[in-house]
Each structure stands twice: as C-alpha cells, then as structure tokens.
C-alpha cells in the first residue's frame, strides 16, 4: 500500500456497488460486514480502492512515517487483497493461516480469489487477532478511526 494512500470521504457502499466483477463485489460486501463486526470500527475508503478499518501510525528507522489502515481489503481484478493480517506478524504469521483455506501472500497482503475458498470463522479470528496484536503493540493510538 502506498504511503500516499489516505482516508477519504468517499462512500464505501457506493464503491462496493461499483466493483465490476460480481464475485469481487459480493465478497466485498461480505468482507465489509465481517470486518465491521469483528473490529467494531466503521469502514472508511482509503484512496480510491481500499476499504479500511481503523488506522495505525508507523515510523521506519529511516525516519519516514505515516498512517495506514489497521486492517482492510481491496477488491482487485485477479483477487481480493486483505491488509494488516499477515504483515502484522513480521515474519511469523498467525498459525491460523494454516487452516484458513486457499490464499496466497505478497509482501504484506493476503490474496483470496473467493470467500468461498476460505473458512470465514478462521478469517474472523485472524482479523480479531491482528487487531489485538496492533492494540498490544501500539495501545489505543493504534485504533484511531
């Protein structure tokens, strides 16, 4: 996710309705509900295509710093990207990923082709764990919305 990505006033539901692919659109609505329920945080658009829940401030050793989504997702053409779930563990992902189902990972994202390919209860727990980890590392400041 680009450091320039920031929260906007764009309507999340309108964005999700505009997703061209029917599967990504349907998964996006389901993910919005899952993330809102699990995090207790409202959905906010970050840039033109990321649906985020909460924010976290980061600071690199180089001195560069900024804010990014605590957790979130983006319906992409090839798959839906999930943010803040895998990278939160800095090389040691939540062991629950072993039981999640079909997914791939990038540098800091989890990619799923369809929610039907993953265990929703496991995904909820992974989201809950990622938020709890962020809270333990950054206190309440990590959960700004």
Return the percentage of the chain with pLDDT > 90, whole number.
Answer: 61
The answer as to whether 4 is a domain residue is no
Residue 5 lies in a domain: no
> Is position 7 within any domain?
no
Q: How many CA atoms lie within 13 A of 10 on its CB side?
A: 18
Residue at 1 is within a domain? no
Q: Any idea what the CATH number is for the domain that residue 55 is in?
A: 3.90.1150.200
Q: Residue 3 — very low, low, confident or very high, per pLDDT cuts 50/70/90?
A: very low
Boundaries of domain holding 119: 12-136
- The Cα 12–Cα 118 span in angstroms is 23
pLDDT band for position 2 (50/70/90)?
low
* Residue 142: inside a domain: no
What would the 3-class secondary structure string for the chain be? CCCCCCECCCCHHHHHHHCCCHHHHHHHHHHHHHHHHHHCCCEEEECCCEEEEEEEEEECCCCCEEEEEEEEEEECCCCEEEECCCHHHCCCCCHHHHHCECCEECCCEEEECCHHHECHHHHHHHHHHHHHHHHHHHHHHHHEC
Query: Is 122 within a domain?
Result: yes
pLDDT tens track for 94-142: 889 999 999 998 877 899 999 999 999 999 999 999 888 887 776 444 4
Interval 17-31: pLDDT, tens: 999 999 999 999 999
Hey, how many other C-beta atoms are within 10 angstroms of the C-beta on 71? Answer: 24
Predicted local distance difference test score (pLDDT) of residue 91: 60
Q: Could you tell me if residue 128 is inside a domain?
A: yes
Q: Is 6 domain-assigned?
A: no
Q: What pLDDT is stored for residue 119 in this prediction?
A: 97
Q: Which of 60-64, 84-88, 118-122 has the highest mean pLDDT?
A: 118-122
């Amino acid at each position: 996710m680009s450091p320039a990505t920031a929260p906007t006033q764009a309507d999340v539901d309108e964005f999700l309705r505009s997703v061209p692919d029917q599967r990504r659109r349907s998964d996006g609505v389901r993910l919005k509900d899952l993330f809102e329920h699990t995090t207790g945080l409202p959905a906010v658009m970050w840039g033109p295509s990321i649906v985020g829940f909460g924010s976290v401030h980061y600071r690199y050793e180089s001195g560069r710093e900024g804010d990014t989504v605590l957790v979130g997702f983006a319906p992409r053409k090839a798959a839906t990207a999930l943010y803040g779930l895998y990278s939160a563990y800095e090389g040691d992902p939540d062991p629950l990923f072993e039981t999640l189902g079909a997914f791939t990972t990038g540098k800091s994202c989890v990619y799923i082709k369809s929610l039907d390919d993953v265990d929703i209860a496991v995904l909820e727990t992974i989201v809950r764990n990622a938020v709890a980890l962020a809270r333990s590392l950054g206190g309440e400041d990590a959960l700004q919305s």
